C-alpha cells in the first residue's frame, strides 16, 4: 500500500514558539512563588502579562497562522472538530484547529484577568506596581462593601483587597483548569493526526499532505 506523500511546512513563527515556552515557564514560576516569594512572583507575572499583550497584538498583525482571523471559528466548527476527534476523522489543519483556536482565546483571556487582578491587588495593598495610583481603594468603593473587612494575621483586609484576592485566586484556578484541557487537547489531536504537536511548537514545522 502506498503511504500518502507528505512534506514539512513552517507554521509557527519564532515569536509564537519562544513566547509559548516563556509563557509556560513564567506561568508555573508565578504559580509556585505566589504564596511565599513575592519578588519572584511579581516578575514572573509581569513576564506573562507582557507576553500576553504582545501575543494579542501579534494576533492582528503577525504571521499567517498567528492571526486570530485565521483560527477563531464559531461553535459549530469547534464542536464539529471535537466530534471528529472521537471518531478519529477530525480534519487536519495547518495552524490551530477550531478547538485549539477557542482554547487560545480562553487562555489569553484568563491570563489577562489573572495578571491584571494581581497588579490591581498589588496597587491597592502596597500602592506599587504598574497600576499604582490608577487602581485604588476608591475604585472599588461602590462594590467592595459587599465583601466586608477581614482580619488576616493582624492585617486588616479591606473589601477591595478581599475582592481582588478572590478574583486573582479564582482566575489562577480557572487558568490551571484550562491548561489541563489544553494539554488533553494537544495529546488527543497528536494521537488522531499521528503527529507530535508539542514538538511542532519547538521546531515550528508541521507535516502536511503534498
What residues from 6 to 25 belong to the interface with ligand HEM (CB under 6 A)? Answer: 16, 20, 23-24
Which runs of E-coded beta strand occur in 59-200? 150-152, 155-157
Residues 26 and 36: their CA atoms lie apart, in Å, by 16
Nearer to ligand HEM, 53 or 141 (CB): 53
Residues 154 and 150: their CA atoms lie apart, in Å, by 10
Member of 158, 163, 179, 193 binding ligand HEM (CB under 6 A): 179
- Here's the x/- map for ligand HEM, 137-176, by CB under 6 A: it reads as -------------------------------xx--x----
Q: How far is the CB of 4 from ligand HEM (least distance, A)?
A: 20
- Burial of 70-89, coded b for 16+ CB within 10 Å and e otherwise, reads bbbbeeebbeebbebbeeee
Q: Are 100 and 189 in contact (CB under 8 A)?
A: yes
User: Which part of the chain contacts ligand HEM (CB under 6 A), choosing from 2-10, 80-88, 103-111, 134-142?
Assistant: 103-111
Instruction: Assign 132 to helix, strand or coil.
Output: strand
Grid coordinates 484556578 are at which residue? Answer: 173
Q: Is 99 near ligand HEM (CB under 6 A)?
A: no
SS3 content of the chain, % helix, strand, coil (to 5): 70, 10, 20
* Site residues, ligand HEM (CB under 6 A): 16, 20, 23-24, 27, 30-31, 34-35, 38, 41-42, 45-46, 48-49, 55, 66, 96-97, 100, 104, 107-108, 111, 114-115, 118-119, 121-122, 125, 129, 168-169, 172, 179, 182-183, 186, 197-198, 201
Amino acid at each position: 500500500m502506498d503511504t500518502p506523500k507528505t512534506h514539512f511546512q513552517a507554521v509557527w513563527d519564532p515569536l509564537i514558539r519562544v513566547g509559548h515556552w516563556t509563557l509556560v515557564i513564567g506561568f508555573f514560576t508565578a504559580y509556585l512563588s505566589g504564596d511565599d516569594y513575592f519578588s519572584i512572583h511579581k516578575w514572573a507575572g509581569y513576564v506573562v502579562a507582557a507576553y500576553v499583550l504582545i501575543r494579542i497584538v501579534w494576533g492582528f498583525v503577525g504571521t499567517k497562522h498567528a492571526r486570530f482571523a485565521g483560527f477563531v471559528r464559531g461553535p459549530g466548527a469547534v464542536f464539529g472538530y471535537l466530534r471528529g476527534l472521537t471518531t478519529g476523522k477530525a480534519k487536519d489543519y495547518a495552524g490551530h484547529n477550531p478547538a485549539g483556536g477557542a482554547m487560545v482565546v480562553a487562555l489569553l483571556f484568563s491570563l489577562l484577568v489573572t495578571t491584571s487582578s494581581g497588579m490591581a491587588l498589588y496597587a491597592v495593598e502596597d500602592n506599587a506596581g504598574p497600576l499604582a495610583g490608577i487602581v485604588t481603594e476608591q475604585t472599588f468603593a461602590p462594590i467592595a462593601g459587599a465583601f466586608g473587612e477581614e482580619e488576616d494575621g493582624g492585617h486588616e483586609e479591606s473589601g477591595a483587597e478581599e475582592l481582588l484576592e478572590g478574583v486573582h485566586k479564582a482566575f489562577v484556578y480557572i487558568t490551571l483548569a484550562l491548561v489541563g484541557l489544553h494539554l488533553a487537547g494537544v495529546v488527543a489531536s497528536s494521537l488522531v493526526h499521528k503527529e507530535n504537536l508539542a514538538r511542532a511548537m519547538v521546531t515550528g514545522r508541521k507535516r502536511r499532505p503534498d
